[in-house]
Amino acid sequence: MNMKFTRTICAIAVCIATCLGIVSCDSKQNDPELKYRQQILNAFVYANDMAEDLTIEYLGANYDIIYDFIAGTADVTIQGLRLPGNKQYPTITLTAVPFTIDDNGSRVLEGSNMPVAVEGFATAPVFSAFKLTVADRYFTNDYKLTPNISEAKYYSPQISILFTIDGHYRVVSSLPGQVFTGTTVTTDSEGKSFSNSDPTYVLTLDMETKTGNLTINGAKFIQNMPEMTMTFPNIPFTVSNNGTVTLQKADPIIPTIGGTPFSAFPISNFKAVYTLTTGMTLDFVCTKKNQETGLSETYSVSADLPFFDKN
Amino acid sequence: MKTIRTIVYAVLLCTGSSAAMSPAQPGEREPGQAAADSLVDGHLLLRQVEVEGVKQTVRSDAMAATDISQAMVNRLGITAAKDVGTIAPNFYMPDYGSRMTSSIYVRGLGSRMDQPVVGLQVDGVPYLNKDAFDFDIFDIASIEVLRGARATLNGRNSMGGRIIVNTLSPWQTEGFRALAEYGRLNSIRGGLGWYGKLSESLATSVTAQYSSENGARRNVFLDRRTGDSRQADGRWKLSWRPNTWLSLTNTASLSDSYQDGYPYRHLTMPDIAYADTCSYRRTLFSDGLTAVFAGKRMVVTSTTSFQYMSDDMRLDQDFLPDDYFTLRQKRHETTFSEDMFAKGSRGDYDWLGGVFVFSRSTDMHAPVTFKDTGISKLIEAHRNDVNPEYPIEWFSRRFTLGSDFTMGNTGFALYHQSTYTLGDWTFDAGLRWDIERASLSYHSYCNTGYRTWHILPDGQRELYSTTPVDINDSDRLGRTFNELLPKLTVTWRRPWGSVYADITKAYKAGGYNTQMFSDVLQQRIMGIMGIGMQYTLDDIVGYLPEKSWNYEAGIKASLFSGRLDLSATAFVIDCRDQQLTVFPSGTTTGRIMTNAGRTLSRGLELTAGYRPVEQVQLQAAWGYTKATFRRFFDGINDYRGRRVPYAPENTLFVNALWIPDFDIAGIRPQLDMNLRCAGDIYFNEANSVRQPFYAVLGSSLTFNAAHWSLRLWGENISNTRYMTFYFVSIGNAFVQESRPWSIGATLKVRF
């Protein structure tokens, strides 16, 4: 299971270009430039034609962003953008999108009716609204991402890309995977609660099956439970126009632990809401069979997993 | 020259001062042994002074100390440092496990593994690894047990005190000495030594001895004795004093021992019964060169030591007839140390300053082999109980968790002590700065795997998955420790004795606990299966130094013309980050170190020596310690207020000696009766298992002649049965019982 998780993390990392570096230096001594390039590769896209109520969801869009920290603008090149009705734009470039750094340290690129360059089209699409948010997030092994590799560090940024094209195509785009940390609270049937901030949640979205897998590393829902690496597989999800991904399943989910299904711990009433800009909250009910009494004990589990510390 | 004499007199006064335990007795000085305090023309020359270990043996009156003379060593049959347990109050060194298990408890402080609380030196050579503390010595001349913190002068691992063992000096002993001993359990000991001067400036001694003993218990599963042991050792001492201001002494020793150790019995079973071999073999070489230079204004002493230890421990880790797992630990360790200090005085002011460096390097190979029962009960059952629909089955019924370690410790210290005498008052102030680096390189490896089956509704099974378990972890950890150790002492001298008060800070070194690695690897395997805790290696394997503030006050008095010697000591020890050995929760073996929080020890020590008449000597030493946790929460249980385990609440030693003033045909008899007591001893933090106070009676009848002595002895003639050790491992409770009664005879010849 750890190897699979490692591959997931690596896949997330691969989606983000490692080239955050200076891309150009000014050749003119009197006009300094400071530009950085960031690539977001293999992002998922949810595109909804609000007029026709048609939707497509796929994996494979790339975003190439060049930040000009002197000018306070960025050029964003989108590759592989597809829209409902078989519209495809191999390459679109938005130039001079204004960007700022918000209170969370996120880079926010926002603009409307910006100049657009597109090849092979007589008429360029109009981006009536565009907002791209990126926040750098690093994890050390303290977050139990890869046990026993003491010096491992992982990069899993918060990314939210929302834009409207031609007034009726709404596009939501981000990484197909994300890492979350926060506080998990378990409440038993008698109302006693147990709080734990150690677990790490890793979400991966499969755009073909429209299901997601949620892996909890260091899952510990009650005091005397050993920590486990637990995966809730194949949870259906939907994406909304406002940039949220909702995973929900009323039927029991059989978690896998160490790659093996554990039917003794069914998960029910699962709902997770992942807001691309703020984080994720989730709720579910965990059932555990008491080995001694043979009776089942139920626990309500809630987790608040924000990207940013609320304090 | 006058200054040198003054210093030498001071040395002699301190080393020769009588303690409550060993006043000079007629017949106690053996032929061939020159008096240490002989004078020539009224002047004392350096040649005739034993200056080994000047730093430690220059005891002030502000010190709780127990002196054990050679006569006492002989009549009590003391052959090793551990034999002085309970003779010194609040000093306890139980004999369990093997020679590697040298656990010492003093005033509530102590540990069963890794760092000791008491330092040991033999002929000035420090022994830094407590796994090498337990060895027999042929010709012990004296043992001093200094209780209380000795950190200012001795640094690390002197929180509880220091044991100073001196062997016979060739300057004071001449001729051959031979020993032959036989006792119950087929106990045999034989030894031979030669002492003498090769010239006016060169003296040497060479000794060798061999001992063996049958174990007292039987492993009924293997149908053989457990506890058989044998040891051979030799010592060569060479001392050169070319003039009155230079002395060089080199002591080299070599010992080899083998032991079928670990006589642990399951609490519910009547006998010891486990399936695999438990043994311990050790080869220990030690060499120490002490150089003393007596200048015009100061005496400079340098002690350079080198030690090499090679040992091999085999352990049935579960101590059960079932084959759970075994451990084999092979180790090679080299240690180098250099301690150089200078002492001087000017009027009422005395000073001492020194530097100490050491370096220790250890290579260890310690694989744990999981066997059939261990795999099925600790891994498969643990996992399959929670998921019977998808049970796992290991590839093979045996696999090895490999662990190789290289450990390094390097330290440097500067220290100083100033003493000012103002009339009847003496004021001591000292400070030591210790810095130490501990490092651990490890390589953990395992190559195994398991199959996962799916049980179908009809009861048949199909293969669900195959999971290899390939572990190959290596890394290097390091920690640096930095300590400042101050000391303040005030002494008030009276004609009848002295009163003192002392405040000292001490510490026990931190480091890395390699025994936890097998547990870490087990958790790695469980982690591959998705279950189990994930350790941060450095947090679990590493442990911090233990620090203490020691507050002590005492009084010593010699009354009735020296017929009655009394001493009383009261102490409080505030210990923080105390290192405790616990077995980790869950089904695992191997002990771990944890820094427990905070403990408080307070107690009292009383000693008395009384000679009602010349022929009778009575001695008693009582120690009481109340050591409790002020803060210790292990994540589940809060042990605040509970007694610290393994350290006895009381120790008591009572000794009566009768040496008549007559002899028969030149043979003088000597009758000794002694009682050694300890308890209550708690064996866990919860204080749910306790060994009540117990008393062990011993006696000896010795016939002394001019050139020989015959000692008829009995140990534990009361046949007292008590728990020496108790522990719980993988849910099973084990106990080691005390040694049974024993009798024997020891013949010594001098010619």
Which amino acid is residue A7, in one-letter code? R
- Whether residue B534 and residue A1 make contact (CB cut-off 8 A), yes or no, is no
DSSP string, B583-641: PPSSS--S-EEEE--EEEEEEEEEEEEE-SSTTEEEEEEEEEEEEEEEE-B-SS-B-TT
Q: What is the mean pLDDT of residues B515-535?
A: 73
Residue B192 tokens read as 């031979």
Q: What is the pLDDT of residues B76-92, one digit of tens each?
A: 999 988 888 889 999 99
List of residues 6+ apart from B376 with CB closer than 8 A: none
Predicted local confidence at residue B157, as pLDDT? 86
Measure Cα distances from A83 to A43, A54, A172, A174, B658 in Å.
Answer: 15, 9, 11, 16, 109
**Beta bridge pairs of residue A235:** A212
Residues of A whose CB is below 8 A from B537 = 148, 150
Predicted local confidence at residue A145, as pLDDT? 53
Q: pLDDT of chain A along its 311 residues, tens only? A: 344 444 444 444 444 443 444 444 444 455 667 899 999 999 999 999 999 999 999 999 999 999 999 999 999 999 999 999 888 888 999 999 999 999 989 999 999 887 788 877 777 889 989 999 999 998 775 555 554 444 567 888 999 999 999 988 999 999 999 999 999 999 998 999 999 888 899 999 999 999 999 999 888 888 777 778 899 999 999 999 999 999 999 889 999 988 899 888 899 999 999 999 999 999 999 988 766 677 788 999 999 999 987 65
- Whether residue B465 and residue A260 make contact (CB cut-off 8 A), yes or no, is yes
What residues of chain B have any CB closer than 8 angstroms to a CB in chain A?
A: 385-390, 392, 452, 464-465, 467, 473, 475, 524, 526-534, 536-538
Residues of A whose CB is below 8 A from B478 = none
pLDDT band of B61, cuts 50, 70, 90 = low
- Whether residue A262 and residue B386 make contact (CB cut-off 8 A), yes or no, is yes
Alpha helices in B378-515 (DSSP H): 381-384
Other Cβ atoms less than 10 A from the Cβ of B514: the count is 22
Residue B226 tokens read as 């457990």
Q: What is the mean pLDDT of residues B394-406?
A: 94
Q: What is the pLDDT of residues B474-524, one digit of tens each?
A: 999 999 999 999 999 999 999 999 999 999 999 988 889 887 787 777 777
Separation CA A311–CA B278 (nearest Å): 58
Buried b (16+ CB within 10 A) or exposed e, A291-300: eeeeeeeebb
Measure Cα distances from A250 to A11, A253, A266, A297, B539 in Å.
Answer: 29, 8, 12, 19, 41
Q: What is the mean pLDDT of residues B529-551?
A: 78
- Whether residue B533 and residue A226 make contact (CB cut-off 8 A), yes or no, is yes
Q: What is the pLDDT of residues B192-225, one digit of tens each?
A: 999 999 999 999 999 999 999 999 999 999 999 9
CB-side neighbour CA atoms (13 Å) of A130: 26
Separation CA B8–CA B6 (nearest Å): 5
pLDDT(B172) > 80: yes
Q: What is the mean pLDDT of residues B653-664?
A: 94
Of B452, B533, B536, the CB nearest to A260: B452
Predicted local confidence at residue B253, as pLDDT? 95
Is pLDDT larger for residue B41 or for residue B583? B583
- Whether residue B538 and residue A291 make contact (CB cut-off 8 A), yes or no, is no
Among A127-136, B447-456, B727-736, the range scoring the smallest mean pLDDT is: B727-736
Cis omega (within 30 of 0) for bond into B680: yes
Residues of A whose CB is below 8 A from B387 = 257, 260-264
Q: Which of A241, A59, A258, A245 is nearest to A165 (CA)?
A: A241
Of A2, A218, A264, the CB nearest to B386: A264
pLDDT(B248) > 90: yes
pLDDT band of B241, cuts 50, 70, 90 = very high
Q: What is the pLDDT of residues A204-262, one digit of tens each?
A: 999 999 999 999 988 888 877 777 889 999 999 999 999 999 999 988 999 998 889 98
Q: In a mutagenesis test of the B interface, which of A260, A286, A288 is the best target, namely the one with the most B β-carbons within 10 Å? A: A260
Q: Which of B628, B623, B631 is nearest to B600 (CA)?
A: B628
Dihedral sign (CA B69, B74, B76, B79): positive
Of B389, B390, B532, the CB nearest to A227: B532
Min distance A205 CA to chain B CA atoms (Å): 22
Prediction pTM value: 0.80
Residue of B nearest to A145 (CA): B534
CA B93 to chain CA centroid, Å, is 7
Which amino acid is residue B627, in one-letter code? A
Q: What is the mean pLDDT of residues B636-660?
A: 93
- Whether residue B530 and residue A260 make contact (CB cut-off 8 A), yes or no, is yes
Residues of B whose CB is below 8 A from A258 = 467, 528-531
Min distance B467 CA to chain A CA atoms (Å): 9
**Helix, strand or coil, per DSSP, at residue A6:** helix
Min distance B510 CA to chain A CA atoms (Å): 21
B455: domain CATH number is: 2.40.170.20
List of residues 6+ apart from B407 with CB closer than 8 A: B360, B361, B362, B364, B438, B439, B440, B441, B511, B512, B514
- The complex scores an ipTM of 0.72
Predicted local confidence at residue B728, as pLDDT? 87
Instruction: Show the 3-state SS of A201-266.
Output: EEEEEECCCCEEEEEEEEECCCCCCCCEEEEEEEEEEEECCCCEEEEEECCCECCEECCEECCCCC
CB-side neighbour CA atoms (13 Å) of B702: 28
CB of A76 within 8 A of CB of A43? no
Residues of A whose CB is below 8 A from B637 = none
Residues of B whose CB is below 8 A from A228 = 530-532
Residues of A whose CB is below 8 A from B538 = 150
Is pLDDT larger for residue B19 or for residue B520? B520
Burial of B391 (0-12, 13-18, 19+ CB in 10 A): buried
Host H or E run for residue B76: helix B70-76
Q: Which of B412, B413, B416, B477 is nearest to B442 (CA)?
A: B477
Min distance B392 CA to chain A CA atoms (Å): 10
Number of CB pairs, chain A paired with chain B, less than 8 A apart: 67
Residues of A whose CB is below 8 A from B464 = 260
Residue A70 tokens read as 């002197």
Of A144, A148, A257, the CB nearest to B530: A257
Min distance B387 CA to chain A CA atoms (Å): 6
Min distance A264 CA to chain B CA atoms (Å): 7
Residues of B whose CB is below 8 A from A230 = 530
Residue of B nearest to A261 (CA): B390
Min distance B528 CA to chain A CA atoms (Å): 6
Measure Cα distances from A14 to A33, A39, A145, A156, B309 in Å.
Answer: 28, 10, 16, 10, 52
List of residues 6+ apart from A298 with CB closer than 8 A: A188, A189, A285, A286, A287, A288
Residue of B nearest to A142 (CA): B536
Q: What is the mean pLDDT of residues B587-607?
A: 74
Residue with tokens 């909804």: A48
Separation CA A161–CA A239 (nearest Å): 13
Of A147, A226, A260, the CB nearest to B387: A260
Separation CA A228–CA A257 (nearest Å): 7
List of residues 6+ apart from A189 with CB closer than 8 A: A297, A298, A299
pLDDT band of B60, cuts 50, 70, 90 = low
| Phi, psi (degrees; rounded to nearest 5) at B431 | -150, 140
**Beta bridge pairs of residue B14:** none
Vertex B277, ends B276 and B278: CA angle to 5°? 120
Q: Which of A198, A180, A201 is nearest to A5 (CA)?
A: A201
Q: Which of A48, A36, A47, A82 is nearest to A62 (CA)?
A: A82
Residues of A whose CB is below 8 A from B390 = 260-262
Measure Cα distances from B721 to A25, B97, B289, B716, B724 in Å.
Answer: 86, 17, 44, 9, 9
Please give the share of chain B, as a percent, with pLDDT higher than 70.
88
Rounded to the nearest integer, the mean pLDDT of chain B is 86
- Whether residue B524 and residue A148 make contact (CB cut-off 8 A), yes or no, is yes
Q: What is the mean pLDDT of residues B466-477?
A: 92
Predicted local confidence at residue B528, as pLDDT? 82
pLDDT(B425) > 50: yes
Predicted local confidence at residue B518, as pLDDT? 72
- Number of domains within chain B: 1
Residue B224 tokens read as 């053989």
Predicted local confidence at residue B29, as pLDDT? 30
Min distance A280 CA to chain B CA atoms (Å): 24
- Whether residue B534 and residue A258 make contact (CB cut-off 8 A), yes or no, is no
Min distance B391 CA to chain A CA atoms (Å): 9
Among B93-102, B447-456, B542-551, the range scoring the smallest mean pLDDT is: B93-102
Range of the structural domain that residue B413 is part of: 2-750
Of B385, B473, B528, the CB nearest to A291: B385
Of B524, B529, B538, the CB nearest to A258: B529
Residue of A nearest to B525 (CA): A258
Residue of A nearest to B530 (CA): A258
Highest-confidence segment of A18-22, B447-451, B583-587: B447-451
Residue B516 tokens read as 């936890």
Min distance A233 CA to chain B CA atoms (Å): 15
